[in-house]
Structure 1
Amino acid sequence: MRFSHIDTHSHPNFATFSADREEVIKRALEAGVCMNIVGTQKDTSKAAILLAEKYEGTYATVGLHPIHTSKSFHDMQELGKGGQEFTSRGEAFDYEYYKKLASHRKVVAIGECGLDYYRSKNYELGIMNVEREKQEETFRKHIELAIEMKKPLMLHLRNGTSRSAYKDAFSILNSYFILHNSWPRGNLHFFAGTIDEAKPFLDAGFFFSFTGVITFARSYDEIIRYLPLDRILSETDCPYVAPVPYRGKRNEPLYVREVVGEISRIRHENGEAVQERLLKNAREFFKISMI
């Protein structure tokens, strides 16, 4: 099948799609949209692989989201209604478990992983508290796994009020460059940083992906025009941040077409040319050939 678009970061493996998961995935595939299904902990990573095995045009990414390194946040769309008496599981990163998952032929990246300073006021203290230490330790293990498996990183980086997750993450990644004299490949999923925060990653060869939020938040226009088109990827991050005209509804992979269209409008470039370039970018980043 000839695919015209790719959603490089989606979560149809989440609980919110339990009732109509197959319909959502088929709706996208039949419209020419393939997808990368991203895990956030053991269960959703395994589910991503099972879905990727079932459908042609789907791939998987496996890893532990930084918010799941501590019992700090519960998202019913992701985890379902069960377990609301606690927040998240506080999962420890099991290197061998994720290595086994990552060896699957449909797994194209490691993550989503990184640093999330948004949901904890403790990060604003600027100290190495327990939660932050867990996130950094887990991030380093993801980097090591990506290097060992020769697969790119899917990065989740979210700033706090006064501390930059982008700057901290780059410092950590730079330590591996010093050791290996090369950068691990990676994509900054749902990039929401500044040009100054983007520059070191851009110089290191990283990619940047954007979601439906760019269809209604004009603050992204400058960075989308600044970045070279050959470093941009399209994503939905579904079920979150549905684009216009679906804003306020549950997002799904099909809607990545709106994101691609908005990127071309923001950059004032030919829509078909942008669409083809973003497909090529995804092929090169994930090292896949079928799209």
Structure 2
Amino acid sequence: MKYIDIHSHLNDKRFEEDLPLVLLRMRAAHVASIVVGTDKAMSLRAIALAEEHSDIWATIGVHPTDDPLETYDEAAYCKMAKHPRVVGIGECGIDYFRLEDDRARGRIENMDAEADRQQELFTRQMDLAAAVDKPLMIHGRPEKGSMDAYEDILHILKNGQERYGGRVKGNVHFFVGDTIIAKQFLDMGFTMSFTGVLTFSHDYDEVLKYIPLGSLHVETDAPYVAPAPYRGKRNEPAYVLETVRAVAEIKGIDSEIVTETLLENAKRIFCL
């Protein structure tokens, strides 16, 4: 194992028909993966995959917007969180990107009430992460032209660290913030991960250069956002190598050093 894709959705239905082949390609590329839960069913599926495959680990949690009607089953998530193959809590967090669209489509009735719901849901999962002393896998997506979701996440995390100290820790997945937001996460000891977007967009070059290599991870978020040269296709863990190459190129650091450091980062943060 040379690479760890710290955030994939191999539990997604889009992998049902050919998962064995996807795993063969993953192993041929010397990649292991953390499979992420987004609700109860997907969390249980992530655990099942981690039980079956030694190069897969699981996180369990409730995504902020996938199903606004899902009730947080604290007892069930607490039980899952204690499973030895579960290495984190999430993906959980705050997502304001589509609040207006969701209201217009009738998915939510009130944007303020929805923001409050997401904040409470994230807080409860932060409490769980602290209780079991496992890192958070944080989803943050601000409204366009804003950093609002990150600002609210940071506020909740700061309150959490005041209560729980170093047990509030983890990674901000698919980071799309600026250097100001990145500094605040770094000051709290959090890491940030980047996707294949680095291979076809320069929007995040500045913040990637700003974040120390020791505070970075790479991920695919498969089956989403396939990197160049696979754009438009279903993403998969083997493609994380393209993101590793992009990190090395953008930061101007030898690729072997980048590869080794990213591997150690993942092992350290997720206790792999």
Amino acid at match of 2:65: I
1:139–1:181 Cα change, 3 Å: same
Q: 1:281 Cα shift?
A: 0.2
Amino acid at match of 1:26: L
Aligned match of 2:31:
33
Q: 1:36 Cα shift?
A: 0.2
Q: 1:181 Cα shift?
A: 3.9
**1:254 to 2:238 alignment:** yes
Aligned match of 2:106:
none
Give CA-to-partner distance per residue, 1:225-244, whole Å, 9 cap, x none. Answer: 11100000010000010001
Aligned match of 2:107:
none
Aligned match of 2:131:
148
Greater shift in the superposed pair: 136-145 or 154-163 = 154-163
Aligned match of 1:15:
13
**1:234 to 2:213 alignment:** no
Q: Secondary structure at the match of 1:13?
A: coil
Unaligned runs of 5+ in 1: 71-89
What pairs with 1:208-223 in structure 2 (closer than 5 Å)? 208-223=192-207
Give CA-to-partner distance per residue, 1:159-180, whole Å, 9 cap, x none. Answer: 0134511111101111112223
Aligned match of 1:179:
163
1:236–1:258 Cα change, 3 Å: same
Q: Which residue of 61, 73, 76 maps to 1:94?
A: 73
Aligned match of 2:248:
264
CA contact (8 A) 2:130 2:167 kept: no
Aligned match of 1:159:
142
Q: Which residue of 200, 204, 220 maps to 2:188?
A: 204
Q: 1:261 Cα shift?
A: 0.7
Amino acid at match of 1:43: A
Q: Secondary structure at the match of 1:219?
A: coil
CA contact (8 A) 1:117 1:123 kept: no
Unaligned runs of 5+ in 2: 104-109
Number of aligned residue pairs: give it: 265
Q: Which residue of 261, 266, 274 maps to 2:258?
A: 274
1:27–1:198 Cα change, 3 Å: same
Cα RMSD over matched residues?
Answer: 1.6
